[in-house]
Each structure stands twice: as structure tokens, then as C-alpha cells.
Amino acid sequence: MRKVNVLFVLMLLPMLCGCRLKRPESVLSPKKMEQFLYDYHLAQVISQDLPREEKYTTKAYIDWAYSKNNISKDQFERSLVWYTRYPKELSRIYKRLSNRINAEYKAASRSLSQIEKKSFTIQSGDSVDLWYMDRAALLNTSDYMNKLTYHINRDTTFHKGDTVCLDMYGTFVSVDSGVPQYAHISLSAYYDGGITTDDTIIRSNAQVSLSVVLDTAKTFNYISGAISYLDYTDNRDGLLILSDIGLMRYHEKNIPDTTVVTADSQLSSAEL
């Protein structure tokens, strides 16, 4: 009886192989379709959360998904039409996609919790590094990856007259040395009804040092700032590498006796 069953299976194998679903070459593979859908939905979520005055940038986020995966809109639409004809195939893709999103959401939640915990439990020493993110960062000129922002809320460890210093080293990397590049870097202290800002622009590799002194006559609320990287041709091959990032807070009696030197002449935001 066992020999008969084996023979029956062997006879069926050619038929089963002949029924295997054949995907046209113009249709994205399941793996590539999954990756694009992940980036596409991510771009949609980000654009949905944009303020009303920035909704016009929605297309840029969607275009980023196409550019990142090196596919055209027509190729995606043809692939989607094909996969909708075979719902089981599309269901498998979305199942893997859902599992990936859930896993990354949990990981991101844990990271966010650690960041929030660190940013709201600042040490009370006279000289404290407030930076709560990685000491290095990589930016390019896409709308999705061209800015790094930071925010530190006031707590009881801040004193009037404190000095806050932002330091980092910026390195520009580009396959085309003739493409002009620059980065705008800012550090601001916000008060009830006021703001103190130090900012600079760098156009070449440079050490950056910015500082603000907390106003003794105003109610301090938070420290905030950004590093924005741009060039004039939207050259996606260009990169800005930030390294040795630090954000030190010094109480008045412990301010270092050093001269703060910026990488370029300081410019106000209105001059950008």
C-alpha cells in the first residue's frame, strides 16, 4: 500500500509543478513589493501628520518611496493589478508587512521610552551633557532625511544664567565636488515671550560650537534646535556626517574659560 501511495505522489508532481504561479518579469517580486509598500505607507503616514501649511510636500514624501526603491509609478500600479488578481499572494505580503511593522513599532516604542526617560531625568551636576541621541548622525538632501532636531524641556536642574553649548564636527561627502553644499545649525533657548538663538552656516568640513546663556530676567521653558542639510541640486548622493555631538549645560560658576569659535560667520534665519 505504501508503494502505491509513493507512486501516486510521483505521478502528481509534474502536474503540481505545472500549476505553479508564474509572475511576469514586469511585476515586482514579493520581496521588493513588500519593501516598497512599507516605504509607501510610511510616506503616507508622515504626510498625513503634516501641518496644514506643509501639506503641499505630500508628493515629495511619496516620490521618496519610488526613488528609494528605484521603481516607477506605472511599474507599481501594474504590479498591484497583478497581485490583486491573486489575493493569496497579496495577503502573504501584507501579513509579513504587518509583522514587520508591529515588531518595529515595539522596538521604536522602547527606544522612545528610553529617550524620554533620559531627556526628562537630567543629571543635576554643575556640568552636564544633555545630548540624548546618538553621538553621530548621517543626513542627505531628501525631504525625509535632511534635518535633525532636538528638544530639551526645562526642569529643576536648570538655573538662571546657565550656559548651554552645542558642539559637533560636520563632514561633507559628495561624488561631485563641484556641487555647492551647506548646513544650517541652530541652538535656541525659549522663554515666556522671548527667544535667544545662536546659529551658523557651514559650507565645508568644520568644527561647530554654538552657545546661549539663559536669560536671568525671563522664565525659561526649553532648549531646541536643528541641523538642516541642503545643496542646490537636490543631489541625493551627497551626505553630511555629524560626529562627536554634544550639548553641554554649565552652571554660571563652571563656565569653561574658552572662546567659542563657529565654523562660519553667524547668520540669522532671515538671511537663509
**Are residues 93 and 194 both part of a single domain?**
no
> Domain holding 222: CATH number?
2.60.120
Q: Contact, 160 vs 219, CB < 8 A?
A: no
Instruction: Average the pLDDT over each of 113-122, 160-169, 189-198, 214-223 and give the range with the smallest value.
Output: 113-122
Which comes out higher in pLDDT, residue 107 or 128?
A: 128
Percent of the chain with pLDDT over 70: 67
Give percent of the chain with pLDDT exceeding 90: 24
pLDDT in tens, 44-86: 777 766 666 666 677 887 888 888 899 998 999 899 889 888 8
Output 26-31 pairs: Cβ under 8 A, ≥24 positions apart: 26/75, 26/78, 26/79, 27/78, 27/79, 27/82, 27/83, 28/71, 28/75, 28/76, 28/79, 30/89, 30/92, 30/93
Q: What is the mean pLDDT of residues 85-112?
A: 76
Expressed as residue numbers, the domain containing 103 is: 24-117
pTM for this predicted structure: 0.52
Q: What is the pLDDT of residues 223-256, one digit of tens each?
A: 999 999 876 555 555 678 888 899 999 987 655 5
Name which residue leads in pLDDT, 261 or 116: 116
**Whether pLDDT at 122 is above 80:** no
Taking the C-alpha atoms of residue 108 and residue 241, their distance in angstroms, rounded to an integer, is 23
Contact 188, 223 (CB under 8 A): yes
Kindly state whether residues 129 and 250 are assigned to the same domain. Answer: yes
pLDDT value at position 181? 81
Instruction: Please tell me the predicted confidence (pLDDT) of residue 1.
Output: 45
Last residue of one domain, picked from the residues 56, 87, 117: 117
Instruction: Assess if residue 171 is contained within a domain.
Output: yes
* Residue 86: predicted pLDDT: 85
Residues 256 and 130 placed together within one structural domain of the fold: yes
**Number of domains, the chain:** 2
Same domain for 138 and 177, yes or no, is yes
Looking at residue 266, what is its pLDDT?
38
Across 51-65, 125-139, 180-194, 233-247, the highest mean pLDDT is recorded for 180-194
Tell me: pLDDT of 175 over 70: no
| 70 and 162 together in one domain | no
Residue 2 in any domain: the answer is no
Q: Are residues 90 and 129 in the same domain?
A: no
Evaluate whether residue 95 is within a structural domain.
yes
Rounded to whole angstroms, how far apart are CA atoms 167 and 209?
5
- Same domain membership, residue 197 and residue 96: no
Same domain, 107 and 150: no
Supply the mean pLDDT for the chain. Answer: 76
**So what's the pLDDT on residue 248?**
94
Is position 19 within any domain? no
- Terminal alpha carbon distance of the chain: 84
CB 139 within 8 A of CB 239: yes
Q: Which of 59-63, 134-138, 172-176 has the lowest mean pLDDT?
A: 172-176
State residue 200's pLDDT score.
Answer: 96
Inter-residue contact 108 to 117 (CB < 8 Å): no
Whether the per-residue pLDDT at 110 is higher than 70: the answer is no
Of 117, 144, 164, which residue sits at a domain end? 117
Is residue 98 pLDDT above 90, yes or no?
A: no
pLDDT beyond 80 at 193 = yes
In angstroms, the Cα distances linking 180 to 174, 203, 206, 225, 231 are: 10, 8, 15, 24, 6
- The answer to the question of residue 1 being in a domain is no
